[in-house]
Structure 1
């Protein structure tokens, strides 16, 4: 069994060929990926070269998100972006609490490594969603 298969199994996800491909694709990315970018890779325009049908593709993304394997980022661009969640995240909110960085020059959104402590959140509130986005210019764009 491969490492990717083990990761899916630990999240309660059956490792089908398509799920393995989607997970490996997202894992390789250093920034959050839009649905449009993923569709270009996984949903071919012609039936002959089709990798996955649209319904299967969306269903797999939803499964990954529901199981905490990936998370959706709203960076203010009105375009859903997805990134791999921290494999070791275990908290009362079921996901790692971290910030994101949106580059106003290249348009890429990245997960930042520093986590936010759950202890810093008030006990008498029930958090259902966290969206922390810093905006500015990324290191790559600053070097250009």
Structure 2
């Protein structure tokens, strides 16, 4: 895994994702950065953060990619937790304490797990 140099954009994007209680889309990140950098730079930084293992991608029920900070991924990159996508406010939240279970036939080998539940979050209920 190649670790890229820190830039102002990378530092600010990491800070923004770290301070957010919900996963953020590229558009939400770009709006929060107030023209600090262009949209292509944001995409590159987000790809780099995913590659480095400090951020993970979540696809919500509308197909929008959101980004959230990784927790407990120092030794092995994993995201065996459930994501909750609110149908009303469109927020996506990592539910770290909910671990999905499933059983597959022996011929299948799981490399990545992405569970997204949808409904209404506590703020919209």
Range of TM-score over shorter length: 0.7 to 0.9
Equivalent residue, structure 1, for 2:53: 68
Q: Between Structure 1 and Structure 2, which shows a larger proportion of helix residues?
A: 1
Using CA pairs under 8 Å that are at least 6 residues apart, name the structure with larger relative contact order, 1 or 2.
Answer: 2
- Return the TM-score normalized by structure 2: 0.81
Counterpart contact for 2:54–2:69, Cα < 8 Å: yes
Q: Give the root-mean-square deviation of aligned CA atoms.
A: 2.6
| Structure 1 pair 98–23 and aligned structure 2 pair: CA distance change class (3 A) | same
One of 66, 70, 83 as aligned partner of 1:81: 66
Of 115, 119, 122 in structure 2, the residue corresponding to residue 136 of structure 1 is 119
Aligned-residue offset at 1:108? 0.8
- Cα deviation for residue 53 of structure 1 reads 2.6
1:37 correspondence with 2:28: yes
Distance in 2 of aligned mates of 1:115 and 1:139: 16
Aligned partner (choices 15, 18, 28) of residue 24 of structure 1: 15
1:70-115 C-alpha deviation (Å, 9 max, x unpaired): 11111221211111111x2233xx2231101111222111000225
Q: Give the match for residue 41 of structure 2.
A: 56
Q: Is the Cα contact below 8 Å between 1:43 and 1:53 reproduced in 2? A: no
Aligned counterparts of 1:123 and 1:17: Cα–Cα separation in 2: 47
Equivalent pairs counted in the alignment come to 123
Cα distance in structure 2, aligned partners of 1:105 and 1:62: 28
Q: CA deviation at 1:41?
A: 2.6
Residues 54 and 75 (structure 1), Cα distance of their counterparts in 2 relative to 1, 3 Å cut:
closer
User: Where does the alignment leave 5 or more consecutive residues of structure 2 unmatched?
Assistant: none
Question: Which ranges of structure 1 fall in alignment gaps of 5 or more residues?
Answer: 1-10, 45-50
Q: Relative to 1, partners in 2 of residues 1:54 and 1:43: Cα closer, same or farther, differing over 3 Å?
A: farther
